[in-house]
């Protein structure tokens, strides 16, 4: 249940920043192809996550993060 609430907050950030529908924010969705997000969108998304979850994500930690699932994993590892 706690995880669901966390995912919902995570998903809201994606919906708000990337302007996509909630249904598109699924673990296997790729930021570039499925969510039409460019590099600046990702920076904005990470900033929103940092703010929402009160975490800090270094740029280097984003290497290899290409899907929603990977990003969510990164976030949950920090809270």
Partner 1 sequence: MAAGVVKRRVVVTGIGVVSCCGIGADAFFEGLSHSLGDAPRTVDDFDPANYFEPKEARQTDRFAQFSLASAQMALDDAGELGSDPARSGVIYATGVGGLETLQEQIAVLIGKGPRRVSPRLVPMMMANAGAAAISMRFGFQGPCETVVTACASGTHAIGNAARLIAYGRCDVVISGGAEAAMTPTGELPAIGTAAFGNMTALSSSGWSRPFDSRRDGFVLAEGGAAVVLEEYEHAKARGAHIYAEVLGSASTADAYHITAPLPGGEGARSCMELALDDAGITAADVAHINAHGTSTGLNDLAEAQAITKLFGTPSPPVTSIKGVTGHSLGAAGAIEAVAVCLTLERGLIPPTIGLEEQDPEITIDVVTGESRPFTPGPVLSNSFGFGGHNGCLVLGPVAP
Q: How far is the CB of 2 from partner 1 (least distance, A)?
A: 27
Residue number, 34 or 50, with CB nearest to partner 1:
50
Residue number, 19 or 73, with CB nearest to partner 1:
19
Q: Which of 4, 32, 38, 63 is catalytic?
A: 38
Q: Is 38 a catalytic residue?
A: yes
Sequence-distant (6+) residues with CB within 8 A of 17 are 41, 44, 45, 48
Query: Footprint of partner 1 on this chain (CB under 8 A)?
Result: 18-19, 36, 40, 43-44, 47, 50-51
Dihedral (Cα; 28, 31, 36, 42), 10-degree rounding:
150
Q: How far is the CB of 36 from partner 1 (least distance, A)?
A: 8
């Amino acid at each position: 249940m706690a995880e669901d609430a966390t995912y919902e907050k995570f998903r809201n950030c994606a919906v708000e920043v990337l302007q996509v529908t909630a249904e598109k924010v699924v673990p296997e969705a790729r930021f570039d192809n499925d969510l039409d997000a460019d590099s600046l969108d990702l920076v904005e998304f990470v900033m929103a996550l940092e703010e929402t979850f009160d975490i800090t994500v270094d740029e280097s930690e984003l290497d290899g993060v290409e899907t929603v699932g990977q990003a969510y994993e990164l976030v949950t590892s920090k809270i």
